[in-house]
Amino acid sequence: MKIIAFSDNKAILSQIISRFRDEAEVHAITPDPDFILKYGASKTFGLKGDVLSGPVSKAIEKMYQSGGYDLIAIGSTVTGREVAGLLSAMLSTQAVSEVNSLSFNGGKATTSRFFYGGKSLLTEESVAKIAVVAPGLAEATESSKKSDITELQLEPSSVKIVSRTDKKGGSVDIEKAQVIVSVGRGLGKKENLEKVEPFAKAVHGEIAGSRPVCLDYGWLSEDRQVGLSGKKVQPKLYIALGISGQIQHIAGMRNSKVVIAVNKDKSAPIFEEADYGIVGDLFDVIGKIKDKLAQ
Ligand SMILES: Cc1cc2nc3c(=O)[nH]c(=O)nc-3n(C[C@H](O)[C@H](O)[C@H](O)COP(=O)(O)OP(=O)(O)OC[C@H]3O[C@@H](n4cnc5c(N)ncnc54)[C@H](O)[C@@H]3O)c2cc1C
């Protein structure tokens, strides 16, 4: 089996390579070849030029047309999803999106992905030749398998980059945090973070949040989002404040060792995931815990 693997996100690409390197010849295409090399792809192609969806899809198309490839696995990023759409049209082939498990047998791809907003898992067998892979396909592990880096010059794009601005990020990597204080829409408004911060400090925790808090309202930076489309965390202690506990949030925190949930609705689904559940107003509860810790 022969696979083209591309992502402009090195973490996702290293997961795709780790998943397939023992059963397939993986040709990895990346803007970060020095980093990717250690994951043991059969061939590593280092992109030269602006990594934009147009030129990248043309480069992948050319490689695929050279023959013998069974599958194109693309990391699910903004660029990756665009590349998959373009390639699907260019190659007149089916693409399957947001897969979190992927196997390939006898010309058919078996993929699993969340459906109905994450409430069910859909497993399909198809003739799709392009799979857009969500983060977390496999654990990225280094390999002793060696390959050389081949330079892959991208064609100039019709799109001109006018400027680049770094995304405002948090100062911590919540995936490594031992204690996380995670806030949901129950926080009410951004200003209320000031009430949660002293509590997080008292329990030596890092602040994270649900998708509405990080993405929709921007109360926290996006890199603090926990969940299916956010970070997968596994702290020793996860304190969920005003989070209802939808499946997409649970997908990011279910490996936490101990979970404490505070919610004013006693039927909130988060309590099914919690080791300790407290029904009440989150501001009252964190105030009381903080006072107790100070004694
Ligand atoms: C494809 C897809 C991907 C997604 N990915 C993610 C993801 O990565 N992460 C994520 O979090 N979500 C994700 N979502 C969104 C998810 O479905 C939920 O909408 C979201 O998790 C809800 O966030 P929440 O719990 O903060 O808000 P809500 O569901 O509105 O819950 C707020 C909770 O706060 C409680 N509350 C209100 N006031 C107080 C108070 N004063 N004290 C105590 N409790 C209070 C309420 O009882 C309620 O239970 C995704 C959805 C889709 C479709």
Could you report the per-residue pLDDT of 203-217, keeping only the tens digit for each? 999 999 999 999 999
Two domains, one topology: 2-153 and 174-294: yes
The answer, yes or no, to whether any atom of ligand 1 lies below 6 A from the CB of 228, is yes
56 CA → ligand 1 middle, Å: 36
184 CA → ligand 1 middle, Å: 6
285 CA → ligand 1 middle, Å: 19
The answer, yes or no, to whether any atom of ligand 1 lies below 6 A from the CB of 262, is yes
Residue having the nearest C-alpha atom to atom 26 of ligand 1: 184
Query: For residue 150, which of 221, 227, 52, 44 has the smallest C-alpha distance?
Result: 44
Which residue would you say has higher pLDDT here, 38 or 230? 38
Helices 53-65 and 78-90, packing angle to 10 deg? 50
d(CA 15, CA 40): 11
Average pLDDT of the segment spanning 39-58: 96
Q: Where are the domains of the chain?
A: 2-153, 174-294
Residue having the nearest C-alpha atom to atom 2 of ligand 1: 117
Per-residue pLDDT tens digits for 65-101: 998 999 999 998 889 999 999 999 999 999 999 898 9
Per-residue pLDDT tens digits for 132-189: 998 778 889 999 988 889 999 999 998 888 998 876 655 678 988 999 999 999 999 9
Average pLDDT, the chain: 92
The answer, yes or no, to whether any atom of ligand 1 lies below 6 A from the CB of 269, is no
Give the least confident one: 26-40, 107-121, 144-158. 107-121
For a mutational test of ligand 1's pocket, the pick from 98, 121, 244, 247, i.e. the residue with the most ligand atoms closer than 8 A to its C-beta, is: 244
pTM score, whole prediction: 0.70
**pLDDT for residue 100:** 87
Query: For residue 46, which of 127, 148, 137, 130 has the smallest C-alpha distance?
Result: 148
Average pLDDT of the segment spanning 219-245: 93
**pLDDT for residue 6:** 98
Residue having the nearest C-alpha atom to atom 29 of ligand 1: 244
Residue 116 has pLDDT above 80, yes or no: no
**pLDDT for residue 171:** 63
In the chain, the N- to C-terminal Cα span, in Å, equals 63
> Could you tell me which residues come within 8 angstroms of residue 78 by beta carbon, excluding any fewer than 6 positions away?
none
Which fold, 174-294?
A: Rossmann fold (3.40.50)
245 CA → ligand 1 middle, Å: 6
Average pLDDT of the segment spanning 106-128: 84
CATH code at 2-153: 3.40.50.620
Residue having the nearest C-alpha atom to atom 43 of ligand 1: 263
